[in-house]
Amino acid sequence: MRSSGLALLVVLSALSVAVAGDTDATMNAAARVQRLAQNIERAESVRAVKRVQETYAQYSQFGLWTDMAALFTDGAQLSYGKDSAQGRQAIQNYFLTKFGEGTHGLKSGGLHTQMVLRPLINVSADGQSAKGRWWEFSMTGQYGVKAEWAAGIFENEYVRERGVWKISRMRYNPMFAGPYATGWRNIDEDQKIVPYHFTPDETGIPVPDLPASALSPVDPKMNPATTLTALEQRIAVMNDEDKVRNLQNAYGYYMDRKMWDDVTDLFTADGILSFANLGVYDGPKGIRRALERSGPAGLKQGQLNELMQLDMAVAIEPGGMEARARGLEFGMLGEADTGTAFYTLAIFENRYVKQNDIWRIREMRIFPLMKTDYAQGWAKSQVIDPLPDKAHAPDHSQPKSDVMKPGAIPVFFLPNPVTGTPVSLPPGATTVGDERWLPAPAARKPSAPAGNLEARIKEAERRLAVSKAWDGAENMSTAYGDYLDDLDYGQLGKLFAEKGHKEVPFSGFYVGRQRIIDRDATAPAPGSRPRTMLPLHWRTQPVILVAEDGRSASIRSRLFQPASANNRAMGFGGGMYHDQVVLENGIWRFWSVVIDEHYFSSPTYEGGWSAAKLTNRQPPAPNTAYPPDIPLTKLGERERGFRGGVGDEISWPGIVPMWFHYKNPVSGRVPERYWPDCVPCVQFPETSMKNHGYLLPPS
């Protein structure tokens, strides 16, 4: 009896230990899930802040002053150059008076396009406030009356009120402006440096780690598995948003180079391409026929077909099988050989579907807003393209719901992100582009989560890291442009990883953070005070591919480069950045920065990009004072045609080779010029991140 009692005690003790162990494991899982929830919320906050500012630009384009003001807190402060306003109502009145000239909506023939570029967002440690830096580039006026340019820097503050992000302070610092006829000029004789809200280290930390005191207590009644299922869905939305943005931005780059095979690849087999007031093209054959209205595939000498994808809002539909996007396409077109050039503006309203875990374009609807002759500008010229010939005619006409008439506004499919209500349309306005054309994709049957709880938590943490890397990479891209604009090389060098490398245009690569800093110390800012020149580096339209562990990423971004001076506008130039970033000691840093330039340039503002003539330039002089570690001449085919590289230099209006670090995101088609790793990595493997403990991002 005594021995059996002892045995029972041992069993009960063992059960007690086992139950306690299970309870501890459950609590550990619950704590991790709770922390994951807070990290997701903070990652979503970065994107919520971006959406508020992008929505501001979308509303501004159609004079929705009431909805613009609704994005602000009750007591918000507005500083717009020398003007100021306090409180939401005063801000609304300011927009109505300053931008709308007393009119809700735009006047007939009005244009009020405020593009927002280069976001750099930092959310506070407690997740309740944020700061953001943006560039704005504006094209405003009215046909028959006036046409004007403007550009400046926003340094804004945002707060989270009852779970909703709002603008609490908007500070717009004008940098250049002017009438279209004579072009923009610097605002100040000694152009100011707009103070940064961030340091180089803070750039690479969009959201600081949660302090221990900020961790929410774990609800003992929480079921970790059930809660995790909801969190997995929120992470999936962020992952899918990244893929849709990459898809749309890749589309823009393929359009630039008239890569018609690659553009067509991006659509589903039943996809459509529609142009308002022209018609609809069905399926791959129809879409290809629509593209060839602009000529055969490939650019010929002097052809410019830049179609920038900007101000994009993306939403993943419930179920995760469909997505929508609304954005602005800004075009710069021309033929240098004939001296023709045009600006275009259009809204795209797209639907995408996920097939075999790959996002594809299913419905692309383009709503042209403006096409103007470069020589005259939008106050004097409204170009109406002729109907296409029979060989390139649409397959059929549009439904009435997509016909653009006076007062028509392409639909805002998302509600106002602050009020949660549909936008308030100006008197007489109607919306177009909302009706579905193709049936909704089949709903995905819900499946049981794969793996045990521990495996699921690890996978969720990994997938969250991937989307956080997307935003970290975009922050880095912006900061590089900011510091370079201001010729602040001291801060620029601190953005790099310890063993990172940077290309100096037309010269070569400097390897290692200290070498970059030392080299830049030998390159003082051109000119002297007063600061009279603004050679800007707007890096936009990113395609960001993140390694599966979320610790490294590659970035392709467009260099959109206006230049300005005190006494004259200087036109535009364009290039392409191919960068890599890594997470080093918890901070995002540049591993590699590469610039291919210039794909086009304007000899003068008056003549624009189509006034350029072929010239033979002397090779750049070598840097003998502080020579690069890897000269461009050592990189062979990758630098063929570029200034300072190998072979004969190709300059605009010649067509410079364009390289891609990724395959077609839908078909996997390999581009003609494909370079998935950093530029010096093939000849100099020690410069590759994969030889320093990082995964190479997918291509």
- DSSP string covering 73-115, please? EEEEEEEETTEEEESHHHHHHHHHHHTTTT-SSPPTTEEEEEE
Give residue 526's pLDDT. Answer: 52
d(CA 327, CA 632): 37
* pLDDT at 616 (0 to 100): 80
Predicted pLDDT at 686: 95
The domain segmentation of the chain, as residue ranges, is 13-211, 229-407+426-432, 457-692
547 with 698: CB under 8 angstroms? yes
Which residues, at least 6 apart from 120, have a Cβ–Cβ distance to it below 8 Å? Answer: 132, 133, 134, 198, 203, 474, 475, 478, 479, 482
pLDDT at position 253: 98
Question: Which tokens sit at 401?
Answer: 């719901």
What SS3 class is residue 199?
Answer: coil
* pLDDT at residue 523, rounded to an integer: 64
Arithmetic mean of pLDDT over the chain:
92
- Check residue 265 and give its pLDDT: 98
pLDDT at 249: 98
> Which pLDDT value is given to residue 18?
38
pLDDT in tens, 367-405: 999 999 999 999 999 999 999 999 999 999 998 889 998
| pTM of the entire predicted model | 0.94
* pLDDT at residue 524, rounded to an integer: 60
385 Cα distance to chain centroid: 30
The CATH-assigned architecture of domain 229-407+426-432 is Roll (3.10)
Single-letter amino acid, residue 532: T
- Residue-level pLDDT at 443: 83
- DSSP calls for 256-310: HTT-HHHHHHTEEEEEEEEETTTEEEEHHHHHHHHHGGG-SSSPPTTEEEEEEEE
Residue 592 CA to residue 554 CA, distance in Å, equals 9
**CATH topology agreement for domains 229-407+426-432 and 457-692:** yes
Predicted local distance difference test score (pLDDT) of residue 527: 53
Question: pLDDT (tens digit, 9 = 90+) per residue, 352-362?
Answer: 999 999 999 99
Residue 623: the pLDDT is 82
The structure tokens listed for 157 are 């503050």
Structure tokens at 629: 């570690």
C-alpha span between 43 and 584 (Å, rounded): 19
CA-based angle 77:83:85, to the nearest 5?
30
Q: Residue 569 is which amino acid?
A: A
pLDDT of residue 684: 96
Predicted pLDDT at 442: 87
Contact 267, 358 (CB under 8 A): no
CATH number, span 457-692: 3.10.450.50
Return the pLDDT at 2: 40
Q: How far apart are CA 665 and CA 686, in angstroms?
A: 29
Low-confidence ranges of the chain (pLDDT < 50): 1-23
Q: State residue 535 phi and psi, 5-degree precision.
A: -90, 95
CATH code: domain 13-211 is 3.10.450.50
Q: Strand 164-179 relative to strand 322-335: parallel, antiparallel, unpaired?
A: unpaired
Residue with the two structure tokens 């009431």: 66
